[in-house]
Amino acid sequence: MDFSDMGAMWRYVYETDTFEEEVAELWETVRPLYEQLHAYVRRKLREKYGVDKVSADGPIPAHLLDFSDMGAMWRYVYETDTFEEEVAELWETVRPLYEQLHAYVRRKLREKYGVDKVSADGPIPAHLLGDMWAQDWSNVKDLFLPCKNKPSLDIAPALRKQNYTAERMFRVSEEFFTSMGLSPMPEKFWNLSIIEKPKDRAIICHASAWDFCDSKDFRIKQCTDMTMEDFVTVHHEMGHVEYYIQYKDQHIAFRDGANPGFHEAVGDVISLSVVTPKHMVKIGLLPESAGKKDSEVDLNYLMSQALSKVAFLPFGYLIDVWRWNVFRGKISSSHYNCEWWKLRSEVQGVQPPNIRSEEDFDPGAKYHIPANVPYMSYFVSFIIQFQFHRALCTAAGEYDPKNPLAKPLHDCDIYRSKKAGNLFKEMLRLGSSKPWPDVMAVITEGNRRMDASALREYFQPLENWLRKDNKKHGAAMEGIARHKNLMREPRDEVEKETARAPSSSSHSQ
C-alpha cells in the first residue's frame, strides 16, 4: 500500500482520516482530570519528601545508627570516607566524552527540529531524547548513527526467522557462561523461573533475578520478547544468577555484591561481549559479513553503545548528588525543583520541555526517589563494568593494552575463554566477604580503586571521531554547563505579579 510516512501507516489500522483530530479531542476531554490527578500526586510526594520525613521513614532512622543523615548512611556501605569525592572524580574523568556526545546529539536534534526548538550552545530539551528521564537516548538512535548506509545490527529479524523461543534464548545465554567454565543453571531454575508472560494472570514484567537464599533455588522473572533488547537482558539477568551461584557457599551475611555497584556491573560485563557483532556472528544471528573489520560499522556500533552507556552517566551521578544535599539540609524544601533542574542543566545538559515551578516536584517522577532507593550504585556499575571488561578481555587474549589498535576493547568477546572464566569466578566467589577494594584487586591485577579509564578506552575511537566531527561543524562545547532559567515563581508569587502587571502571562502545567 502507498503511505506517505510511517505515521500514516500506523494510523491506517484505525480506519479513519480524522484519527489525529479525534485523539486530540479525547485528550482535551480528559486533560482536566489528568491535571488534577497530577497536581494531587505531586503535592503528596512533596509533602512526603523532606529531610526529617525521609530520614525517619527508613527501616532504621539514620540518626539512631549515629549517621549525620541518610546520605551518610548510604555512602557508608562503600567503606571509604572519600566516596563522595571519588565519584565526583569519576564523573570529571568521563565528562569530556559526554560533552562530545552531547554536542553532537544537540546538533543533530537542531537539524531535525529547528533552531527555535534546540539552541546551538545550551541545554537540550529533555523530551526530545526518547526517554522519560533523558537517561537513555537509544530509542532515537536512528537520528544519530554516523553511517546510515550500513546494515542494521539488530538481531530481531534473525530471532524470528530462526524460530527462537524464550527458552532457547535462555539456553543460548547459559551456554555463554558454561563456555567460560562457569556454572550451568540448576534444575530448579528451569522448573521455577518465569521466562514468558503468563496467560492466566497479571505480573510485573520488569526483568529481575532472585536468590532464595537456600544455596539451591535461583530464578529469573522476565516476560521475554523476541527482540535484541530482551536477548541482551536475558544474559544480564543470568549474570546476576551466576553471581548468586558462585557465592552460594559464603555465610549468608556475605552473599551479596562486593559493593552496591558490583551486581549490576557483573550482569552488564557479560552484555558487553554479547552485543558485539563478532559474537552475534559466532552464534549465527548476524551474517559473516557483519563480523568483518569495517570502521563505519564500528562507529555505528559504538554510537549505539554510547547512547545507552555514556548518556546515562550524568543522570546516574546527579540523582544522589541532589539527594545528599537535600539530606544534609543544603537544599531546602522551597528550592527542591529549582536545584533539581539546575543540576540537570549543569551536569546533564538538559532542560525541561516547559516552564517549571516549585509547585512541581519533578524528581518524584523517578521511582527511586519517592521509594527512597539509593541510585549511585548504578553510576558505579556503569564505571566498573568496563574495568571488569578490560581485565577479562586481557585475560582472554582479546585485548592488548599495549596495542589497543590491533585488538580494540569494544571488539572483545570473552565467549569460550576459560582463562577469563576462571578469573571471573575467583572474584564472584568472594561475594561481599572481603572489602570491595580487595575483591576489585582480584580481577584488575591489583588495582583497588574505581577507574574510568577503561570506559574512555572502550569509546576512544568514537570520541576521536566526535571531536573531529564537532570541530568540523563548529559545535559549541561550553554549552552543557550553561543554566537556562526555566523556573517561575510559585503560584502565590505569580498572582501578586499578575495583580501588579496584568500583561503577565500564566503557564499551563
Binding-site residues for chloride, please?
A: 78
User: Smallest Cα–Cα separation from 98: which of 502, 379, 355, 327?
Assistant: 379
Residue for cell digits 552496591?
Answer: 260
Q: Which residues are annotated as a binding site for Zn(2+)?
A: 236, 240, 264
Length of the chain: 509
Residue 496 carries which side chain, given as an amino acid letter? K
Q: Rounded to the nearest 10 degrees, how much is the dihedral formed by the CA atoms of 231, 373, 379, 441? A: -90
**Positive/negative CA dihedral, 487, 493, 497, 502:** positive
Contacts 24+ apart (CB under 8 A), 470-475: 470/100, 470/103, 470/104, 470/107, 473/107, 475/103, 475/104, 475/106, 475/107
Exposed/middle/buried for residue 11 (C-beta within 10 Å: 0-12, 13-18, 19+): middle
- Contact between 443 and 426 under an 8 Å Cβ cutoff? The reply is yes
Name the catalytic one among 63, 127, 335, 368.
368
- Tell me how far apart the alpha carbons of residues 361 and 281 are, in angstroms, rounded to a whole number: 47
Q: C-alpha angle with apex 306: 143 to 278, nearest 5 degrees?
A: 100
Name the catalytic one among 99, 237, 358, 463.
237
- Tell me how far apart the alpha carbons of residues 279 and 283 are, in angstroms, rounded to a whole number: 6
Residue 102 a catalytic site member: no
Exposed/middle/buried for residue 86 (C-beta within 10 Å: 0-12, 13-18, 19+): middle
Secondary structure E strands in 186-244:
208-211, 218-221
User: Smallest Cα–Cα separation from 480: which of 133, 137, 124?
Assistant: 124
Q: Which residues are annotated as a binding site?
A: 78, 236, 240, 264
Residue for cell digits 570520541?
Answer: 463
Residue 237 a catalytic site member: yes
Q: Cβ–Cβ contacts within 10 Å for residue 401, how many?
A: 12
Q: Which three cell numbers stand for residue 252?
A: 549468608
Which active-site residues does the annotation give? 237, 368
